[in-house]
Amino acid sequence: MIIAPSLLAANAGRLASEAERAQRAGADWLHVDIMDGHFVPNLTFGPHVVRAVRKATRLPLDVHLMCSRPETLIEQFREAGASLLTVHVELGSRVAPLLWKIKSLGALAGLAVNPPTPIAEVRPFLKQIDLLLVMTVNPGFGGQSFIEETVPKIQQAAVWRRNAGLDFHLEVDGGVDFQTVAECARAGADTFVSGTTLFGQHSLRRAIRKLRQIAERHAPAAAPAAATPRLVAVA
Ligand code: DX5
Ligand code: ZN
């Protein structure tokens, strides 16, 4: 199980020390939401922020690009220290070259799917990816409620992964709290992004431990191959 606190919910006045705190608290990865004000109606971090965070922590940086033109950004975010870069399937015919570009830069490649987009759209790419991100809220803002209708998409993706003998991470993002994490784990997710819930607790360490325990308790008996993390802390 991978627990990835979302930097979006951290104290924006001191992101580097928040990243350090997440590492000390036992996070596996740090999730970094990049919004461009066009693909989603909000703006967040640029490569310079990712570079500062990279210096502050050894955690793998799971960089989620909610951007209309990731072509112009991937290289900069990789140079800034992104370990894994995720693009959205809603970009259509540009997805395959984007995944290829991410891999050619030596990063892991992720593919995200928004709640209204059918899960079938990711199917042609499953062999090419290291991570599938099933969005459990409409992207753009932290602190939204989990959309229950996304759970069958997680189940379907887990079935495809098992039947094809693939081992990509199955990640969920948005509204993941101490209740919804159980449903996601039961459906087959193994990688959990959580912002508001984790950073909203007095003890981040205890919150991460609790989220992990609930996820482990509800995981299907036959654990997926992706239980082995592909990314470990950088030197
Ligand atoms: C939503 C972002 C999420 C967000 C999750 O657009 O992609 O990563 O940070 O935050 P919470 O856990 O607050 O829903
Ligand atoms: Zn995200």
Q: Is residue 232 part of a domain?
A: no
Query: Residue 47 domain-assigned?
Result: yes
In a domain, 99, yes or no: yes
CA separation for the pair 118, 186 (Å, rounded): 20
Supply the pLDDT for residue 235. 47
Is residue 146 included in any domain, yes or no? yes
175 ligand 1 Cβ < 6 A: yes
Residue 104 C-alpha from the chain's centroid: 20
Residues belonging to the active site: 33, 173
Q: What is the largest CA-CA distance in the chain?
A: 45
Does some domain include residue 233? no
**What is the structure's pLDDT at 229?**
57
Distance 173 CA to ligand 2 centre (A): 6
- Please indicate, yes or no, if residue 235 is contained in any of the structural domains: no
Alpha helices in the chain (DSSP H): 15-24, 47-56, 74-80, 95-104, 151-164, 180-187, 196-199, 204-218
Which CATH number characterizes residue 93's domain? 3.20.20.70
pLDDT along the chain (235 residues), means of 10: 98 98 98 98 98 98 98 98 98 98 98 98 98 98 98 98 98 98 98 98 98 98 60 64
Domain count, the chain: 1
Q: Is residue 177 part of a domain?
A: yes
Q: What angle do CA 164, 173, 84 make, to 5 degrees?
A: 65
Residue 172 domain flag = yes
Compute the distance between CA of residue 218 and CA of residue 127 in angstroms, rounded to an integer: 27
Q: Side-chain half-sphere of 216: how many Cα atoms within 13 Å?
A: 10
Which helix (H) or strand (E) segment is 34 a member of? Answer: strand 30-35
Give the range of the structural domain holding residue 22, as residue numbers without chain letter. 2-227
The pLDDT of residue 228 is 52
Ligand 1 binding pocket includes 23 (Cβ within 6 Å): no
Ligand 2 mean position to 100 CA, how many Å?
21
Q: How many CB atoms lie within 10 A of CB 41?
A: 10
pLDDT at 231: 77
